[in-house]
Amino acid sequence: MSATLAIRLSAHAEDAAESVLVLDGAPEAAVEIDTLANLARRADGHKLCVLVPGADVLLTRARVPMRGSARILQAVPYALEEQIAADVNDLHFAVGKRDAEGRVAVAAVARARIEDWLARLAAAGLRPQSLLADTAALPQADGAVVLLEGERAYVRCPDSTPLECSVDELEQVLDVAGVVIEAESESTDEENARSLVVYASDEDRERHADLIERLGARAERVELRSTMGHALRVLATEAVKPDALNLLQGVYAPRTAIDTLWKPWRTAAMLLAAFLVATLGVQSVRLIQLSARERQLDAAAFDILSKSCGVRSLADARAQMQRCMDDRLGNATGGEDLFLEMLGTLAAALAETPGTQITHMSYRNRVLDLKLTVPDIDTLERIKSLVADRGALQMDIAQTNPGEGKVESQIELKKPSA
């Protein structure tokens, strides 16, 4: 069940306001008049819609070619600049839906005024989801609509924007709008007259009986409807509709529940984001290091395989090695596995000793003979230690020839003697 508390601010009393609860689009119970602080308690748990005096809000229409609320809001002040006497920089604009002629409904109000309303509401603990002029909440009808409230009248004509006037001025307003036949006209032709819906309480109907009678004689048709005891019951029904012209747009747009829930978690979320970025950075560095290591191993393996078996590419190295071993090993039992083991051990050792080059390699009688060029004797001993650490092979240094900046050595890899 959708429940909204509709509050109507008074143009005269700063702290008092009218309110009515609207359930599923229909007002419930009677209208209450109370202080804003007390109404805040009544609003607890409900959506809040606030109506403000229409005399403080200019309602008009503008032709704006662009689409999208944000872009329309930017363009409207310039579109209406010559039609509004006040400085548009001092005004807040809100936009509504387009009419059949493509014109956008616009509401303009002084920034100081809307900020005063919002400050009064906030001081009482009230934070509305919608704020609109009470004139903008007049019901729609095929003809004109008039709401009588005391000595004030609220008017919505089919081809113009809603307005507020005194009851004494109502007939003149309807004359200008073409809703009624001019009073001085003696013509009985009522083709130009339009239908009129008048909302009034029992008290106002009695108070303005003569006016209503005159309007009935001058309009095509007059339909009297009850305000059900109070004008707010009629206005609230329209105000809570989704397409109502809400003043809370742009900088005054209400904060959503997500914004409210997000604020206390913002710092924790930022710390989590920083942690994730740092972790991702560390893992990225680790991945780069592993990729470099993989390239080193691939290079060492390719160097060995190209010299020993003439392998041209690691992509099909296994097939090329198989042909090479078939040629060299024939059907020797275990020879293929031993040769592969020797190559794997050698590739791993050379990957750990940069600057080592293989100048010659041969495999006979289960012994791998190699000629290496290493930077120094320590590197050669390092290779021997790495081979020994794997435990399955024995490396013998057959000959060493120190040179200028390098050492040439001949080594043998074989299975240790039983």
Tens place of pLDDT for every residue, the chain, 418 residues?
A: 578 999 999 877 778 899 998 988 888 878 999 999 999 988 888 899 999 999 999 998 888 877 877 888 888 888 888 888 788 889 999 988 888 888 888 999 999 999 999 999 999 999 999 999 999 999 988 889 999 999 999 999 877 789 899 999 999 988 887 777 665 555 444 555 578 999 999 999 999 999 999 988 888 889 999 998 899 999 999 999 988 999 999 889 887 655 555 656 778 888 888 889 989 989 999 999 888 888 888 787 777 777 766 666 766 667 766 666 665 554 444 566 788 888 888 888 888 888 888 888 888 878 889 998 999 988 889 888 888 887 778 888 888 888 888 899 999 988 887 5
The per-residue pLDDT for 270 is: 85
Q: Which pTM value belongs to this model?
A: 0.59
The per-residue pLDDT for 181 is: 67
Span 330-378, pLDDT tens digits:
444 456 678 888 888 888 888 888 888 888 888 887 888 999 899 998 8
Q: What is the 3-state secondary structure (H, E, C) of the chain?
A: CCEEEEEEECCCCCCEEEEEEEECCEEEEEEEEEEHHHHHHHHCCCEEEEEECHHHCEEEEECCCCCCHHHHHHHHHHHHCCCCCCCHHHEEEEEEEECCCCCEEEEEEEHHHHHHHHHHHHHCCCCCCEEEEHHHHCCCCCCEEEEEECCEEEEECCCCCCEEEEHHHHHHHHHHHCCCCCCCCCCCCCCCCCEEEEEECHHHHHHCHHHHHHHHHHCCEEEEEECCCCHHHHHHHHHCCCCCCCCCCHHHCCCCHHHHHHHHHHHHHHHHHHHHHHHHHHHHHHHHHHHHHHHHHHHHHHHHHHHHHCCCCHHHHHHHHHHHHHHHHCCCCCHHHHHHHHHHHHHHHHHCCCCCEEEEEEEECCEEEEEEEECCHHHHHHHHHHHHHHCCCEEEEEEEEECCCCEEEEEEEECCCC
The per-residue pLDDT for 330 is: 47
The per-residue pLDDT for 49 is: 94
The per-residue pLDDT for 334 is: 56
Q: Domains (ranges, CATH) in the chain?
A: 3-254 (3.30.420.380), 273-414 (3.30.1360.100)
